[in-house]
Structure 1
Amino acid sequence: MHHSEKGAVLVLGIGNILWADEGFGVRAVEALHQAYEFPAEVKLMDGGTQGLYLLPLVQDADILVIFDAIDYGLPAGTLKLVDDHDVPSYLGVKKMSLHQTGFQEVLALSAITGRYPAKVRLIGVQPLDLDTYGGSLTEPVRTQMESSVAAAIHFLVEQGYPPRRRMRGCVPESLCPSSVNLARYEAGIPLGGR
């Protein structure tokens, strides 16, 4: 299949790693990146809290996969998959945070300009704690990391973009040099808060 026949795929982790479970999306896309390599059409990105800066990337994507912590009002750690035009409404369930408001706008503008991805899959995990500044992922959310990554792989395989597992021990540079490596980040957190 020629490159031109396959569309661009964007796998985006959004959230803020400085606020406990808000970091889920970013951690999930990092975990995916560390374990798998993808065909050239697939771009993995730590979207962080960039909001509107992500618009051109979303407009260019035929398939968009989003990892994010979503307050669905479900038990903490619940993994829920949402598709296509249902995604924006879920992103705004509780207006949890600015990054989600910003990303909802990105999807809205993408739709208005007629350049909405043909397929959108939101892989969301119900957070437990969004309020601990400098906190790391809570246990219920962390335990869903593997299933979240598996859900993304399953979806990408269905869409015709099967990844390859990376060779053991060969972990690439993280997606974004400034992003904080989880183990190092946790090692630096003093026990018992401040």
Structure 2
Amino acid sequence: MTDNVLIMGIGNVLWADEGFGVRCVEYLAEHWDLPDGVTLLDGGTQGLYLLPFLEDADTLIVFDAVDYGLEPGTLKVVEDDEVPRFMGAKKMSLHQTGFQDVIATAQLMGYCPSRLLLVGCQPEELEDYGGGLRDVVAAMIEPAVQVALTRLAQMGHAVKPGRTESDLLADPSIMHTAYEDGRPSEDDACRTGDARFFPAAE
């Protein structure tokens, strides 16, 4: 009998590389047909609201942008007891504190998944509200997804190319392609602030 697996992407797509985890689960849904027993979830920044999803999972695979102090775009995979420690390393945003709380609370309540796998990518840019993933981070989506696919295969889950429909993903309007294709030009939308408050150029 194969384990029930929850694959979750966490982060905030509005803050550049912070959206890495969410974009990974979107990519999985768009390119792979996952079997029964594997659930995809856009965890966003929901914090403790994610607890009910952990209750039925034997294995939790998490994608996220994590500041490991490495070169931007570096993937690092940590497992089991190491996961909470890395989720708190150099906290970049409220969602990381929230996810640590999720794990700790699930452990206290006795239904934390027995196996944890964190697939983290070192971000390049976080201080860019409304910005997309930087190229070096976006390039790591497929390699990160391959880590998860390899683990699923090792666990006996048959995965094949295709699509996975899920009502636990983001609204189509903020999916990666729609979000990037709808970005206005820099002439139409200033990316650095309101020009009325900038001093006149010399």
Normalised to the residue count of structure 1, the TM-score between the two structures is 0.91
**Which residue matches 2:103?**
107
**Which residue matches 1:10?**
6
1:107 CA displacement: 0.3
**Which residue matches 2:200?**
none
Quick one: which amino acid aligns to residue 138 of structure 2?
A: R
1:6 CA displacement: 3.3
- Quick one: percent identity of the two aligned structures? 47
Quick one: which amino acid aligns to residue 147 of structure 1?
A: P
Unaligned ranges ≥5, structure 1 = none
**Runs of 4+ with >2 A deviation:** 170-177, 190-193
**Which residue matches 1:162?**
158
**C-alpha RMSD of the superposition:** 1.7
Aligned residue for 2:81, secondary structure, equals helix
Give per-residue Cα distances to partners, 1:82-125, cap 9 Å, x unaligned: 00010001000011111111111000011112222111110000
Quick one: which amino acid aligns to residue 80 of structure 1?
A: K
**Which residue matches 1:70?**
66
Provide the rounded CA distance (Å) in 1 between the counterparts of 2:165 and 2:57.
24
1:37 paired with 2:66, answer no
Provide the rounded CA distance (Å) in 2 between the counterparts of 1:65 and 1:113.
20
Equivalenced residue count is 187
**Which residue matches 2:178?**
184
Worse overlay, 124-133 or 178-187: 178-187
Give per-residue Cα distances to partners, 1:113-162, cap 9 Å, x unaligned: 22221111100000001110000000110111110111110111111112
Quick one: which amino acid aligns to residue 179 of structure 2?
A: Y
Does the CA contact (< 8 Å) of 1:24 and 1:67 recur in 2? yes
Provide the rounded CA distance (Å) in 2 between the counterparts of 1:79 and 1:15.
16
Quick one: which amino acid aligns to residue 181 of structure 2?
A: A
Provide the rounded CA distance (Å) in 2 between the counterparts of 1:37 and 1:58.
22
Give the structure with higher Rg (CA): 2
Quick one: which amino acid aligns to residue 180 of structure 2?
A: E
Normalised to the residue count of structure 2, the TM-score between the two structures is 0.87
Provide the rounded CA distance (Å) in 1 between the counterparts of 2:96 and 2:80.
16
